[in-house]
Amino acid sequence: MRVSFLYYEECPSHDLALVRLREVMAEESISGDVEVIKVEAEDQARELQFVGSPTIRVDGQDIDPPGDASYVLTCRAYRLEDDRISPLPSKDMIRHALRSMAGSRPG
């Protein structure tokens, strides 16, 4: 399983989001490194189809697929299970994505 973490330095939640991602991976017994990508320029944001920080992808799939968002250096809003807006995904969102991708892989 390939897990990528893309972030924009000016959004302060990225450290906590990365910690949260690694915690969930450990809890789910998913080994392997997280590919951490620092997005620093608008061109890079477009190239990586980066819709905001933090973005987590599992095997290239966004854990919370954005709608018609543009590719720009910005902070990302996540709508949590209780409908609150947060600058970072919940552990349950991350866990659900990891389990979904694990379940869809050929055994």
Partner 1 sequence: MANLSPGDKAVPFELPGVDDRSHTLTDYADREAIAVVFTCNHCPYARAWEDRLIDIQADYAGRGVQLIAISANDAKKYPDDSFPRMKERSGEKGFNFPYLYDEPQDVARAYGAERTPEIYVFDKDGTLRYHGAVDDNYDDPGAVRSHFFIDALEAILGDREPTTTQTAPVGCTIKWR
- Cα-flanking dihedrals φ and ψ of residue 78, to 5°? -110, 135
Q: Does 16 bind partner 1 (CB under 8 A)?
A: yes
| Residue 19 beta carbon to partner 1: minimum distance, rounded to whole angstroms | 12
* List of E strands, the chain: 3-7, 34-38, 55-58, 61-62, 78-79, 85-86
| Residue 67 beta carbon to partner 1: minimum distance, rounded to whole angstroms | 13
Q: Does 72 bind partner 1 (CB under 8 A)?
A: yes
Q: Which of 7, 4, 24 is nearest to 15 (CA)?
A: 7
| Residue 107 beta carbon to partner 1: minimum distance, rounded to whole angstroms | 36
What are the Cα distances from residue 102, in Å, to 9, 11, 43, 90, 94?
30, 29, 32, 19, 12
Q: Does 7 bind partner 1 (CB under 8 A)?
A: no
Stretch of 11-19, 33-41, 43-51, 95-103 contacting partner 1, by CB under 8 A = 11-19
| Residue 21 beta carbon to partner 1: minimum distance, rounded to whole angstroms | 15
Measured between alpha carbons, how far is 43 from 49 in angstroms, rounded to an integer? 10
Residues lying near partner 1 in the complex (CB under 8 A) = 10-13, 16, 72, 74-78, 84-88
